[in-house]
């Protein structure tokens, strides 16, 4: 199913151009989403991952979600001074029992903590 979603003829040329870097089929297999699951993506940026996930539509209410996904943006919540504890509490409250909060991001150099979150767009832990 993941390969069919990635190979869909109506995906944009721009999205296809970054498939090699993003590995969308592997991501979709890892997420193990099924039709009918409720999934939200946070801070979608240009919508690359949202476009893949939207092929299983998000219901209007954001509760009892099976998964919440954040791709390549968690580091930005650090330098933007987001109240991460409050954000995470709200995310976990929106998930159903046993739901998943999946974060995919760049890894920082060991020992740098959050000091490179804005300059190199990555962090080590956090």
User: Which pLDDT score, from 0 to 100, does residue 53 have?
Assistant: 62
User: Which pLDDT score, from 0 to 100, does residue 51 have?
Assistant: 61
Tell me the pTM.
0.69
Residues 6 or more apart whose Cβ sits within 8 Å of residue 52: 5, 6, 24, 27, 28
User: Which pLDDT score, from 0 to 100, does residue 58 have?
Assistant: 41
User: Which pLDDT score, from 0 to 100, does residue 55 have?
Assistant: 58
Stretches where the chain sits below pLDDT 50 are 57-60, 126
The kind and range of the H/E element at 52 are: helix 48-53
């Amino acid at each position: 199913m993941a390969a069919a979603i990635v190979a869909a003829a109506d995906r944009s040329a721009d999205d296809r151009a970054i498939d090699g870097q993003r590995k969308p089929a592997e991501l979709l297999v890892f997420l193990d989403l099924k039709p009918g699951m409720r999934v939200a993506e946070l801070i979608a940026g240009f919508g690359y991952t949202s476009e893949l996930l939207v092929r299983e539509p998000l219901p209007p209410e954001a509760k009892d979600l099976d998964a919440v996904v954040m791709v390549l943006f968690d580091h930005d919540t650090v330098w933007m001074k987001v109240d991460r504890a409050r954000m995470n509490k709200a995310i976990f409250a929106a998930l159903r029992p046993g739901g998943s909060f999946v974060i995919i991001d760049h890894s920082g150099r060991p020992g740098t903590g959050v000091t490179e979150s804005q300059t190199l767009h990555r962090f080590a832990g956090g």
